[in-house]
Structure 1
């Protein structure tokens, strides 16, 4: 009897332990810890473009750079280049273009007019050389100088020309053309009608074509005349000889007739 009780208790304990072990075996696993999503890296800041450096190493553009600094337009250009999405396009005359400028003169301009003239050399957007072909069909294009200060573009078989009214020049070369800054060299200072008026002097007439002298082998007009006269001279001399012979014949016949009458 005692053995049966111990046996039953043992079985009950084994059954209970088996149930607990099975419950632990089939229990769902604990959820895995969620790893945090990676934070995207910030976009790199655009490189700073130093216009003073670009104009100093190219050119020479010292006169234009001096005007940029004295009028404080350089700060406006730098801000447009580095702090806007549109960028900037600048047309820079060489030092020789300023030296060649005699009339009108920049020395008589006020500070505000001189500042507007320098601003007139830039557009508030980056334009590549390929974009100028499209601009030529759009008419006047605004500049950083504001309303009334516009440029006309002319694409002549791939060569870009600018017309400001007082100035007609071509884009000689690209000094720098990487977004957001484009710098192009021009042959003349851009003079706007908004400052110098609309009484624009006529453009000088083109130089006449050089006179090509005839080559040594080509006969000239005088030589042709001489040749023709020389050709006609034999016939003239022949006629003179015929006339002279006829006169002598008549004289001889007259003498013979007189002699016969005398006899």
Structure 2
């Protein structure tokens, strides 16, 4: 009797342990805590630079803007400014620079030549003012017009000088200088040697100083000279003539006397 009771208790304990083991095996494992992942923020898109707006508000550059639009060069400049890593540097003449340009005249150029001339006013890279000091030692620099259209730069104590072959001028002010676009004002229209050749017109000579007539009461230079070395008086001139006349009379008498003696 006692054995059967022990046997029953043992079976009950064994059955209970088996049930607990089955429940633990059947239950799904607890979820593992996952650390949150951070998605990197996308890089901000570069700001679009509107060259038409910059040139419109910066100064009297309407003539250059008109040429940019008529030759379709503005599209090239915008693409270089906003769709390349190099950026662009533009040299812009003021309206009065075009008005002062008489010889040679841009009206005689073909459409292709005029387009090349406008492209000649830009470099296919962004240059701050401090960068031109290094460019001066590199020699000719190619422009957006192509390899034949080059310019030379010289940094003269902070003043940037440009030499296009026909045109010698300087950067007079910085209109806009933020990477990737630099716009600088120049005093003259840049005329490429590739279009106009090497027959550079001479620099006009300075106008002569006007002759100023002396005042009526101011002694002239001639009167000053006469004051230092006075002319002979009329009496001296008359005595000189009488002396010459007497000499001639003596010569005539001598000739006549000689002829009488020979007879």
- The TM-score with structure 2 as length reference comes to 0.71
Give the superposition deviation at 1:51. Answer: 0.5
Q: Provide the aligned length of Structure 1 versus Structure 2.
A: 206
- Closer, same or farther: CA 85–207 of 1 in aligned 2, 3 Å: farther
What does residue 190 of structure 1 align with?
190
Partners of 1:206 and 1:30 in 2: CA distance:
99
After superposition, the C-alpha distances for 1:84-120 in whole angstroms (9 at most, x for unaligned) are: 1111110000001111111111111111110000000
What does residue 179 of structure 1 align with?
179
What does residue 101 of structure 2 align with?
101
What does residue 5 of structure 1 align with?
4
Q: How does 1:1-263 map to 2 (within 5 A)?
A: 1=1, 3-15=2-14, 17-18=16-17, 24=24, 30=30, 32=32, 34=34, 37-204=37-204
Partners of 2:59 and 2:122 in 1: CA distance:
17
Give the superposition deviation at 1:148. Answer: 0.9
In structure 2, the gaps of 5 or more residues are 209-263
- Closer, same or farther: CA 112–5 of 1 in aligned 2, 3 Å: same
After superposition, the C-alpha distances for 1:45-97 in whole angstroms (9 at most, x for unaligned) are: 11111111000001110000000000010011011111111111100000011
After superposition, the C-alpha distances for 1:127-155 in whole angstroms (9 at most, x for unaligned) are: 11111111011000010000210010000
Partners of 1:44 and 1:133 in 2: CA distance:
33
After superposition, the C-alpha distances for 1:165-200 in whole angstroms (9 at most, x for unaligned) are: 111111011111111111000000000000100111
Give the superposition deviation at 1:8. Answer: 2.7
- Closer, same or farther: CA 207–183 of 1 in aligned 2, 3 Å: farther
What does residue 261 of structure 2 align with?
none
Any idea what SS the aligned residue of 1:138 has? coil
CA RMSD of aligned residues (A): 2.6
Partners of 1:20 and 1:138 in 2: CA distance:
90
Partners of 2:94 and 2:36 in 1: CA distance:
59
Give the superposition deviation at 1:43. Answer: 1.6
Partners of 2:19 and 2:201 in 1: CA distance:
109
Give the superposition deviation at 1:5. Answer: 1.7
- The TM-score with structure 1 as length reference comes to 0.71
Any idea what SS the aligned residue of 1:96 has? helix
Instruction: Report which stretch shifted further, 139-148 or 34-43.
Output: 34-43
Partners of 1:19 and 1:156 in 2: CA distance:
98
Any idea what SS the aligned residue of 1:90 has? strand
Partners of 1:206 and 1:167 in 2: CA distance:
19
